[in-house]
Structure 1
Amino acid sequence: MERTETGEHWGTRLGFIFAIIGAMVGSGNIWRFPRMMAMYGGGAFLIPYSIALFTVAIPLLISEGIIGRETGNSTILGFAKYAGKKYAWLGAWVAWVNIGIMFYYAVVNGWALAYFVKGLTGLYASYAPGKGLETWNAFIGGWQPLFFTLLVWVFTWYVMAVGVKRIEKVATFMVPSLILFLVVVIIRAVTMPGADVGLTYMFKFDTTKLSNAEAWLQAYSQVLWSTGAGWGIYLTYSSYLKKKDDINLNSHITGFGDTSAALLGGLAVITTVAVTAPLIGLDPFKVYAEGNVGLTFIWLTELFPKVPAGFAIGTLFYLALFFAAFTSQIAITDVFVKNVVDFGVPRKKAATYVAIIGLIAGIPAAIKIGWLDNQDWVWGVALLVSAVVISFVMLKTGLEKNREVANRGSDIKIGKWWDIMIGYVAPLSIIVVMLWWIKQSIDWYPETWWKPTETFSTGTVIFQWIKQSIDWYPETWWKPTETFSTGTVIFQWIIAAIAIWIIVNKMLMPKIEAKLAEEGA
C-alpha cells in the first residue's frame, strides 16, 4: 500500500540514522553487553551475537520499517492499516509494552544524569573504600531519584513537544558526543598499566563457551533487547520516512551501529574494571558478575578515582550513559506520543499528556527499586512477545509481498533469505529465548516462582499480562469463546496443562523414574 506524503518527515537521512541508532544504543549497550562478553567467551561471544543479528534483529527491523513507512502511523493505526482493523489490538499491545517500560526507564535515565552531576561535584576525584556502595545507598534512599526523574521528563517533553525535527537535532548532537566520550574513556583505560588484561578478558576467543547453550541464549537475548528489534520504535521512526526512502540499508546500518556502540561500551567498562579492580584487591570477574546496577553505579563509582584524571573520565562516562539512555528515552516515549497524535491530538498537547502520565506512573519506580526491577522483568520479557507479533504480521500480509515493498526505494535488495528469517527463524528463536527466561525465573524461585508478588517470578509476568487482557475485555474477559480474552488464555493453559500432566505422569513417568533410580536421586 502507498500513502500520501503528509505529516512530519526526517530532514536528512543522516539525521534519521543518528536518531534510530541513538534510540537503540541505550544503557544496556554500556552495562549489560560488556558483562555478557566477559562471561561467555570474550570475542567468541560475537559469533552467536552476529548470527542473532543477521537472523533475527535485522529482519525484524526491516519488518517494522515496512509497516511504518507504508502507513505513516505508529503501532495501533499502523497495524490496522497494514494488516486489517482486527489486528489493531496487536499494535496496542506493542505500544503498551513500550509505555510500561517508559514509566521506569526515565528513572534509570535520571540515575545516569545524577551521577554525571555528582562527577561535576568531585565524586570521582578521590578514592575511599566503600564509597560506591555508600553513595548508592544514600542516593537511592533519598529524594534525588524522584528529582532527577522529573528533570528527565522536562527534557523529554521539550523534545517531544516539537516532534521529529527536534528529535533529529538532539540525536545528531548526542550520538556523536556519546561515541566521542566513550572513546576518551577507552583511551584512558587502555593506556594504563594492566590494560592488556582487560583486552584479554574482552577479546580472548574461548570457543569452549559456545558449547554452552546459555551463551547462545544470552547472545540472542542481548541482540533483541539491545537493537530494539520488534519493539515498535523502528516502526514509529520509520513512519516519518517518505514512501520512497530506504528501509533495508538503514536497518543494516542500525544493527551494525548498535553493535559498534556496544563494543565501545565493552572496551570502556571491561578495561576500566580490569585495570582498577586489582588495585583494591578485587577480582574483575567478581565485579562483572555484580549485575547492571552493581557494576555501573556502585563499583565503577569506586573504581574511577583509581584512574588518572578519574574525576574527568568518570564524569564523561556518566554523561555518555545519560546521552545513551536519553536518546532511547525519547524514542520509547515517541511510540506513545505518535500513537496519540495518530488519533488527532496536536503533538504539543499529546507530549504534555504523555509527560504528565509518565512522571506520575514512574513515581513508584523512583521511590522503590524493587518495583522498578519488577516492571523491568515483566515488560522486558513482554518485548519478546511484541517481536513475535511483528513476525506474525509479516506472515499474515504475505512474505513475498512484504519483501517487494521493502526493496522499493532501498539501496540494497533483500532476497528470499529474509522470508525464511522473518517467517520462521526469528519467531522460533524468540520463543525459545522467552521459554528459557521463564525457566530461569523458575530456577531462581523454585518454591515461589508462581507468586505474582515475587519481584522476578514467572507468576508476576503472567499476572500482569492477564490483568492487561482483562482491561481490554472488561465484560467478557472470562469467556473462553472470546478470541482474545483472559478466559481463552486460561482455558488453553488448562488444556495444555492437562495434556502436559498426562504426557509426563502417564507416558514419560516410567522413564523418568528409571533415570532417577539410575542416578540415585
Structure 2
Amino acid sequence: MSNSSAGRETWATRIGFILAAVGSAVGLGNIWRFPFQVGQNGGAAFVIMYLAFVVLIGFPAMMVEFVVGRKTGLNAVGGIREFAGGRWKYLGGLFVFIGFVILSYYSVVGGWVLRYVLGSATGRYMAQGPGEYFGQISVGMDALLAHAVFMLLVIGIVALGVKRGIEIAVKIMVPAIIAIFAVLAVYAFTLSGAGEAYSYYLSPDLGYLLDNWQSIVPAAAGQGFFTLSLGMGVMITYASYLSEDENLAIDGGTVVVFNTGISILTGLIVFPILFTAGVDPAAPGPGAIFVSVAEALGDLQFGRLIGVLFFTTVAIAALSSAISLIEVVVSYAIDEFGIARERATVFIGTAIFLLGAPVTIDIVMVDLYDIFAAQILLVLGGILLVTAVAWIYADKAIDELGKGVKSFSGLDKVWLWIVRIPVLVVLLVSLYLGIDGFIEFLQGDFAEFLNSL
C-alpha cells in the first residue's frame, strides 16, 4: 500500500482490483442505459461518438482519478483534500453526493431487473404482455419492494469488506457476465434480423451526426463517464487500495477495453433481437430496453431461456456496479469518522434506499435523476478534478503516474496536455449542452408529469 493509513484494507491481488474496476464500469450503464441511448441518438452515430469519447476523453480522465486515489490512499473526500489542499474537500463531497444520488435510482432499476429474471423464468411478462408487465413492476409497491431487495443484496456484499466481500464477488460476477454475453452474441448472430441490426448499429450516418451533434455529444459524454464510473469517486476509492508498483496506465487501459467491449457486445445482442421481432430500437424512455427486449423474446424460439440468461446477466452487472457506488460513501464514513464498516454500510444503504423511494412514483423520475446526475453532476465533477490535478498540481500527478512504469518516453507530458486542453474543453461543452437539455426536460416531460398530479 502507498500512503494509506495504517490498517486500511487493500486488494488481495491485482486481478482483484482490475475486476472490481471493470465490475464497477460494467453495469446497468452498459446493458440498460447504453442500448436506449443508442436508440434515441441515431444508432451508429451515437456509437462512434461514444467510442471517441471513451478513448480520447474517458481514459485520460480515468488516470486523473487513479493518480489521486493511489497517491493518497484515501477515500474521495480525504484523497482530494490531501492531494489538492483543504479547500478542495468540497469536490470530494460532491463525488460522494453523486454516487449517493446515482445509486438511489440505479437500485430501483436493479429491482426491475430482478423482477424480469423471475418474469423470464415463469414466462409471466410474455403471457401478460411486456408493456403491461413493465407498467406494473416499475412503479408503486412492487417497485419499492424490489428496490429494497436489491439494496439488501448490495449492503450484504459491501458489509463483508474489500477482500471478503467486493473482491470475491467481482471475481465471480465479471467472468460470468462475459461468458454468458458471449454465448448470447453468438445466438443473436443467427437471427434473421441480424444483418439489418448490424447495419443500424455499426454503420454511422455522418449526416445525422452533424445535424444532431448538440444532443449526441452530451449524451455520449454522460454515457462515457457513467459507464467508466468517472466523476463519482469510484476510481479514486478503488485506486486508493493499490500499491505503488502497479502500472496505472495498463490497469486503466484494461478497464476501458473490457468496459467498452461489454457495451458493444450488448448492442450485438439486443439489436438483432429487436430487429428480428420488428421492434423499433428508438422506442423512447428508460423502460424501452425492458419492454422492447421482453416483447422481442416472446416471438423467438427459446425466448424464455434467452430471457433468463439475459436478465440474470443484467442483474449480475447491476450488482457489480452498485457495490462500487456504495463503497465510495462507505469508505468516506470509515476513513473520516471511524465508523465500523458493517454499521456504515447498513446506515448508508438505508439512506440511499429512502432517497430512491420517490423514483418508484413514476418512470419520469428515473429521467429526472438520471439526466441531472449523468449529464450535469458527473461532468461537473470531472471538470473540477481535471482542473485541480492537471493544472494546479500537475507535478504531483506526473510523479505518481510514473510509479510502476519503467519509462514514460515523454508520454506523461502528452497525457498531461490531453487532459489539460481537449478533455477539459469537451467536458465544458458537454456540461453546457447537458444543462440546456436538463432545462428542456424540466419544461417538457417533467412539467407534464407535475400537471398530471
Change (3 A) 1:302 1:115: same
Query: Hey, what does 1:419 align to over in structure 2?
Result: 416
Query: Hey, what does 2:282 align to over in structure 1?
Result: 288
Query: Hey, what does 2:389 align to over in structure 1?
Result: 394
Query: Hey, what does 2:307 align to over in structure 1?
Result: 314
> Which amino acid is the alignment partner of residue 32 of structure 2?
W
Query: Hey, what does 1:156 align to over in structure 2?
Result: 154
How do 1:24-423 and structure 2 match up within 5 A? 24-37=25-38, 45-123=46-124, 131-165=129-163, 166-212=165-211, 213-214=213-214, 215-277=216-278, 284=279, 286-293=280-287, 295-343=288-336, 344-380=338-374, 381-395=376-390, 397-410=392-405, 413=408, 414-423=411-420
> Which amino acid is the alignment partner of residue 290 of structure 1?
P
> Which amino acid is the alignment partner of residue 51 of structure 2?
S
Query: Hey, what does 2:433 align to over in structure 1?
Result: 436
Contact 1:160–1:167 (Cα < 8 Å) also in 2 = yes
Contact 2:277–2:296 (Cα < 8 Å) also in 1 = yes
- In the aligned structure 2, how far is the partner of 1:372 from the partner of 1:109? 12
- Give the TM-score of the pair, scaled to structure 2: 0.90
Contact 2:40–2:284 (Cα < 8 Å) also in 1 = no
Contact 1:249–1:410 (Cα < 8 Å) also in 2 = no
**Residue 141 (structure 1) shift:** 4.1
Change (3 A) 1:411 1:341: farther
Instruction: Please state whether the residue corresponding to 2:12 is helix, strand or coil.
Output: coil
Contact 1:102–1:358 (Cα < 8 Å) also in 2 = yes
- In the aligned structure 2, how far is the partner of 1:227 from the partner of 1:161? 24
Instruction: Please state whether the residue corresponding to 1:136 is helix, strand or coil.
Output: helix
> Which amino acid is the alignment partner of residue 341 of structure 1?
I
Kindly provide the CA deviation profile for residues 30-87 of structure 1, in whole angstroms up to 9, marking residues without a partner as x: 2333345466665565543333223321111111111111111111111111111121
> Which amino acid is the alignment partner of residue 12 of structure 2?
G
Contact 1:146–1:363 (Cα < 8 Å) also in 2 = yes
Kindly provide the CA deviation profile for residues 300-339 of structure 1, in whole angstroms up to 9, marking residues without a partner as x: 1111111110001011111111111111111110010000
> Which amino acid is the alignment partner of residue 109 of structure 2?
V
> Which amino acid is the alignment partner of residue 313 of structure 2?
A
- Of all paired residues, the percent bearing the same amino acid is 26
- In the aligned structure 1, how far is the partner of 2:294 from the partner of 2:61? 37
Instruction: Please state whether the residue corresponding to 1:415 is helix, strand or coil.
Output: helix
- In the aligned structure 1, how far is the partner of 2:220 from the partner of 2:116? 29
- Give the TM-score of the pair, scaled to structure 1: 0.79
Contact 1:374–1:455 (Cα < 8 Å) also in 2 = no
Task: Judge which range, 224-233 or 88-97, deviates more.
Answer: 224-233
- In the aligned structure 2, how far is the partner of 1:287 from the partner of 1:268? 12
- In the aligned structure 2, how far is the partner of 1:149 from the partner of 1:41? 32
Change (3 A) 1:430 1:319: same
Change (3 A) 1:365 1:440: closer
Instruction: Please state whether the residue corresponding to 1:377 is helix, strand or coil.
Output: helix
- In the aligned structure 1, how far is the partner of 2:258 from the partner of 2:448? 33
Note the residue ranges of structure 1 that are not aligned, 5 or more in a row. 278-283, 458-521
- In the aligned structure 1, how far is the partner of 2:406 from the partner of 2:29? 30
> Which amino acid is the alignment partner of residue 421 of structure 2?
Y
Instruction: Please state whether the residue corresponding to 1:287 is helix, strand or coil.
Output: coil
Change (3 A) 1:412 1:359: farther
Task: Judge which range, 15-24 or 354-363, deviates more.
Answer: 354-363
Contact 2:2–2:72 (Cα < 8 Å) also in 1 = yes
**Residue 161 (structure 1) shift:** 0.9
Change (3 A) 1:192 1:395: closer
- In the aligned structure 2, how far is the partner of 1:34 from the partner of 1:180? 20
Note the residue ranges of structure 2 that are not aligned, 5 or more in a row. none
Change (3 A) 1:411 1:218: farther
> Which amino acid is the alignment partner of residue 249 of structure 2?
N
- In the aligned structure 2, how far is the partner of 1:308 from the partner of 1:347? 47
> Which amino acid is the alignment partner of residue 3 of structure 1?
N
